[in-house]
Amino acid sequence: MEAVAAARPRGRRWTNVFERQGVLASALIAPAVIFVLALVGGPLALAIGLSFTNATSGHLHGKWVGLENFRHEWTNPAFEHAVWHTFLFTVISQVIVLVGAGLIAHALTRKFRGRWILRFLILLPWAAPIALSLMAWKWMFDTSYSILNWTLVHAHLYKPLEVPQYLAQPKIAMGSVIAVHTWRILPFAVVIFLAGLASIPKEVNDAAAIDGATGFQKFWSVTLPLQLPIATVALLFGIVFTATDMAVVYILTQGGPPPSFSTEMVTTWAYKTGVESGSLGPGAAISLFLLPVLAVVSIAMLLFARRSEVA
């Protein structure tokens, strides 16, 4: 003990503090943790605070109104529609995404010619900036020059004047919004699935092959159960990215087509109330209705992380 102390060069006590594992760890982690708390925790607390006031963008410090904002939205038909649309939007798109991504990822793990380019094409919708690729969809959904309708007419499936108006007819608009979001999120789920498949040890497949399992048997009793955890992760991410997405709906329909708000989501409703109309308090209250969804997903993630740690 003394020998170590003697060997320590003088005047370098400060450096030596960092030789202690705990001190170094805290010094390295603390900035990130403090930063994240300030930039995520802070605003979240502020959102909760604002939701109990009638603050507007003109009067940033509003008066305390208690639960009034929540009560008002709870009985507001516009909000009720927004919740229902968000639910449909999330459930339908996630079902398609999970099935599609499972199939694609499984096929992509095999080696075949042209795999790189096919993977590139499949990942395009997720890799490209969403607001910009939505421009292509807006053009494809154009009322007069839609490439989709041009095709339908030329295939003699529709008469020129009866073609669907993708963003102007309520039910069809909802379908379009769901389709585009599915298109966008599917590649992301493929990435998560690929990550999951990469973590399955090769030995498992080899063992199954030695035991004489055929392609389908192997898929059903080996790959599929092993894919279940990763499917859960993809689903949890998918729910969060869908229920809280605003770009797709806002850019395509702005919650319309008018006058019935037939594609209004919780997010676009919060945006219109809080930012466009400047009612910060009510807007914050609306967006906070998403918090329970987030909480459930986070808890599920934590449980999952703990389980995979033990395994």
Burial class (CB in 10 A: 0-12, 13-18, 19+), 128: middle
- Residue 9, φ and ψ in degrees, nearest 5: -65, 145
Rule CB under 8 A: choose which of 67, 99, 131, 157 binds other proteins: 131
Residue 244 as a binder of other proteins (CB under 8 A): the answer is: yes
Rule CB under 8 A: choose which of 88, 128, 163, 226 binds other proteins: 128
Measured from the CB of residue 270, what is the shortest distance to other proteins in angstroms?
7
Element (H, E) at 17: helix 13-17
Rounded to whole angstroms, how far apart are CA atoms 165 and 51? 38
Rule CB under 8 A: choose which of 64, 74, 84, 120 binds other proteins: 120
Stretch that binds other proteins, among 63-71, 73-81, 133-141, 220-228 (CB under 8 A): 133-141
Residue 9 as a binder of other proteins (CB under 8 A): the answer is: no
Rule CB under 8 A: choose which of 52, 63, 92, 103 binds other proteins: 103
Rule CB under 8 A: choose which of 238, 256, 257, 274 binds other proteins: 274
Residues within window 24-53 making contact with other proteins, judged by CB under 8 A: 24-25, 27-29, 31-33, 35-36, 39-44, 46-47, 50
Identify any residues that bridge with 64 across adjacent strands, giving them in sequence order.
53
Element (H, E) at 306: helix 291-310
238 three-state secondary structure: helix
Rule CB under 8 A: choose which of 78, 163, 208, 301 binds other proteins: 301
Rule CB under 8 A: choose which of 127, 204, 207, 296 binds other proteins: 127
Residue 217 as a binder of other proteins (CB under 8 A): the answer is: no
Measured from the CB of residue 245, what is the shortest distance to other proteins in angstroms?
8
Residues 6+ apart with CB under 8 A from 290: 243, 244, 266, 267
Residue 20 DSSP class: S
Measured from the CB of residue 73, what is the shortest distance to other proteins in angstroms?
14
Rounded to whole angstroms, how far apart are CA atoms 101 and 156? 33
Residues within window 54-73 making contact with other proteins, judged by CB under 8 A: 55, 57, 60
Residue 116 as a binder of other proteins (CB under 8 A): the answer is: yes
For residue 54, which of 35, 75, 32, 72 has the smallest C-alpha distance?
72
Measured from the CB of residue 79, what is the shortest distance to other proteins in angstroms?
15
Tell me how far apart the terminal alpha carbons of the chain are, to the nearest angstrom.
41
User: Site for other proteins (CB under 8 A): how many residues?
Assistant: 100
Residue 231 DSSP class: H
Residue 188 as a binder of other proteins (CB under 8 A): the answer is: no
Measured from the CB of residue 99, what is the shortest distance to other proteins in angstroms?
11
Identify any residues that bridge with 53 across adjacent strands, giving them in sequence order.
64
111 three-state secondary structure: coil
Binding mask of the shown chain, residues 165 to 184, with x at each position contacting other proteins by CB under 8 A: ------------------x-
Q: Structure tokens of 68? A: 């009034």
